[in-house]
């Protein structure tokens, strides 16, 4: 068998040659670290905790603690929004009893004429709640956002309703399908500066750890498993579900968590950590999400650790020189931690995202569903664009071409897959 070196040549450069993918072995989701086997759903809970502990200590940092308090107030509500078919409610959420410190603004849109509680689709957005719908009453948060003029949110009200955008939000269709939609801007949780940010006060290595990080005390930089931005965004999604559970018109037990790109990673982490999420649909989460890191194709650990210092904990860096040999876990284990709940991985054809690596992660994780008597991903070859043959009842995968974002096709697949 070929010997794999500790350091591969130019490990910090992405590999786009499939012939250069080194041999690798994936850990069995149903085998404990001590070598004993998982033989029952009861034992799976112990193995699931072991998996989550691995990702907490080695990749995403420790899970943030639950807040000392959770206080929400209705900021504004309109019955008869969206031409009369919706009820729009805006909430402000605090995490201290005296309502001091950081807060998150949630936007909830639910069908007006629903006869019983409806399932809720939860996600974080990039550029403000006001981009979902054109209503002038929707608050534009005073939040720092990277890549915008003055780092302020642009007033693109309702832009996600434009079908020419890479990411769209067909709110009317989701309401008509019997869902409510709940969202908040990720910048209120943890700012997301680019590594090339020129202003020192907005440095990725310090400024990213503001926002909700103020709740968790001073960081100890000697630790290798500090809370990360990805972990913080995942934490916020669970707080949104906390809110949903208090709203009688929502059936929080039928919740769907989604997101795109880095916020798809956050959705995947949130569902792995929080079993209350019934359905998970991360869209184009790529490297650091569902893609196998040991394949070392496209985005890799070295590029991640250099470009996104706040997404991953320091411990993850020790694997960057040769993931195929050095990694002692991989993303299929994170995928398996969602079993036996519903999970649909939505891929993207950009080589950087290595969507075949996502397909292979699902394939390697399906035994966790089968352990629970649930069908795993169908045993089919890597599907073509838009093909749905790899979408099973509880675990599925598809990929598509076109832009990087959540398109109408992705929302349609989400609706079909959830099937409450």
Domains of the chain as residue ranges with CATH: 71-418 (3.40.50.1820)
- Residue 84 CA to residue 224 CA, distance in Å, equals 52
Residue with tokens 């009893």: 97
Q: How far apart are CA 162 and CA 410, in angstroms?
A: 15
- Count CA atoms closer than 13 A to 264's CA, side-chain side: 27
d(CA 372, CA 39): 10
pLDDT of residue 265: 98
- Number of DSSP helices (H) and strands (E) in the chain, helices first: 10, 9
Say if residues 149 and 127 touch (Cβ distance below 8 Å): no
**What pLDDT sits at residue 1?**
44
Whether 353 and 303 have beta carbons less than 8 Å apart is answered as: no
- Cα distance between residue 284 and residue 297, in whole Å: 15
Token pair, residue 237, equals 């999604």
Would you say 347 and 387 are in contact if contact means Cβ atoms under 8 Å apart? no
Are 107 and 129 a contacting pair, CB within 8 Å? yes
From first to last of its 420 residues, what are the pLDDT tens digits of the chain? 455 667 777 888 999 999 999 999 999 999 999 999 999 999 999 999 999 999 999 999 999 999 999 999 999 999 999 999 999 999 999 999 999 999 999 999 999 999 999 999 999 999 999 999 999 999 998 888 887 777 877 789 999 999 999 999 999 999 999 999 999 999 999 999 999 999 999 999 999 999 999 999 999 999 999 999 999 999 999 999 999 999 999 999 999 999 999 999 999 999 999 999 999 999 999 999 999 999 999 999 999 999 999 999 999 999 999 999 999 999 999 999 999 999 999 999 999 999 999 999 999 999 999 999 999 999 999 999 999 999 999 999 999 999 999 999 999 999 999 998
The model's pTM is 0.97
Using an 8 Å Cβ cutoff, are 182 and 122 in contact?
A: yes
Burial state string for 94-103 with b = 16 or more CB within 10 A and e = fewer than 16: bbeeeeeebb
């Amino acid at each position: 068998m070929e010997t794999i070196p500790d350091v591969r040549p130019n490990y910090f450069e992405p590999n786009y040659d499939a012939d250069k993918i080194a041999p690798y072995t994936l850990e069995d989701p149903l085998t404990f670290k001590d070598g004993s086997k998982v033989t029952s759903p009861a034992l799976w809970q112990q193995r699931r905790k072991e998996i989550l502990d691995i990702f907490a200590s080695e990749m995403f940092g420790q899970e943030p603690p639950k807040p000392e308090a959770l206080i929400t107030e209705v900021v504004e509500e309109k019955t008869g929004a969206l031409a009369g078919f919706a009820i729009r409610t805006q909430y402000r959420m605090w995490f201290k009893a005296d309502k001091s410190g950081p807060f998150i603004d949630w936007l909830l849109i639910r069908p007006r004429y629903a006869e019983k509680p409806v399932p809720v689709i939860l996600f974080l957005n990039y550029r403000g709640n006001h981009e979902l719908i054109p209503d002038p009453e929707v608050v534009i948060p005073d939040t720092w956002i990277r890549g915008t003029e003055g780092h302020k949110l642009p007033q693109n009200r309702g832009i996600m309703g434009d079908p020419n955008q890479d990411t769209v939000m067909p709110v009317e269709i989701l309401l008509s399908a019997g869902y409510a939609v709940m969202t908040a801007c990720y910048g209120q949780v943890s700012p997301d500066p680019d590594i090339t940010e020129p202003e020192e006060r907005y440095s990725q290595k310090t400024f990213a750890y503001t926002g909700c990080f103020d709740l968790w005390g001073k960081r100890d930089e000697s630790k290798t498993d500090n809370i990360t931005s990805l972990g913080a965004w995942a934490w916020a999604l669970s707080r949104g579900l906390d809110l949903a559970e208090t709203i009688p018109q929502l059936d929080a037990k039928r919740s769907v968590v989604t997101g795109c790109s880095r916020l798809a990673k956050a959705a995947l982490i949130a569902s792995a950590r929080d079993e209350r999420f019934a359905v998970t649909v991360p869209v184009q989460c790529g490297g650091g999400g569902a893609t196998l890191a040991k394949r070392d194709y496209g985005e890799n650990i070295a590029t991640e650790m250099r470009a996104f210092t706040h997404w991953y904990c320091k411990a993850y860096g020790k694997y960057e020189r040769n993931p195929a040999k050095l990694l002692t876990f991989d993303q299929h284990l994170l995928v398996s931690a969602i079993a036996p709940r519903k999970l649909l991985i939505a891929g993207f054809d950009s080589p950087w995202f290595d969507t075949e690596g996502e397909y292979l992660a699902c394939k390697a994780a399906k035994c966790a569903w089968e352990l629970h008597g649930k069908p795993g991903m169908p045993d089919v070859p890597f599907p073509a664009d838009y093909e749905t043959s790899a979408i099973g009842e509880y675990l599925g995968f598809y990929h598509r071409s076109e832009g990087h974002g959540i398109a109408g096709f992705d929302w349609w697949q989400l609706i079909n897959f959830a099937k409450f």
